Homo-oligomer: A and B are copies of this chain.
Amino acid sequence: MNIGEAAKATGVSTKMIRHYEAIGLIGRARRSGAGYRQYTEQDLHTLRFIKRARSLGFSIEEIRRLLALWTDRDRASAEVKALAQRHIDELRRKIRALQEMVDTLSHLAAHCHGDQRPDCPILDALAEGAEPEDTMPRPCCGHAGQP
Residues of A bordering B, CB below 8 Å:
44-45, 48-49, 52-53, 55-57, 66, 69-78, 80-82, 84-85, 87-88, 91-92, 94-95, 98-99, 101-102, 104-106, 108-109, 112-120, 122-123, 125-128, 130, 132-133
Contact = CB atoms under 8 A, between A and B. Distances in A.
Give the dominant DSSP class at A's interface.
helix
A123 B102 CA distance: 34
B78 A114 contact: yes
Q: How many copies of the shown chain assemble into the complex?
A: 2
A116 B78 CA distance: 6
A39 to B, nearest CB: 14
A105 B88 contact: yes
Given A70-B132, A130-B45, A77 B113 contact: yes
B115 A77 contact: yes
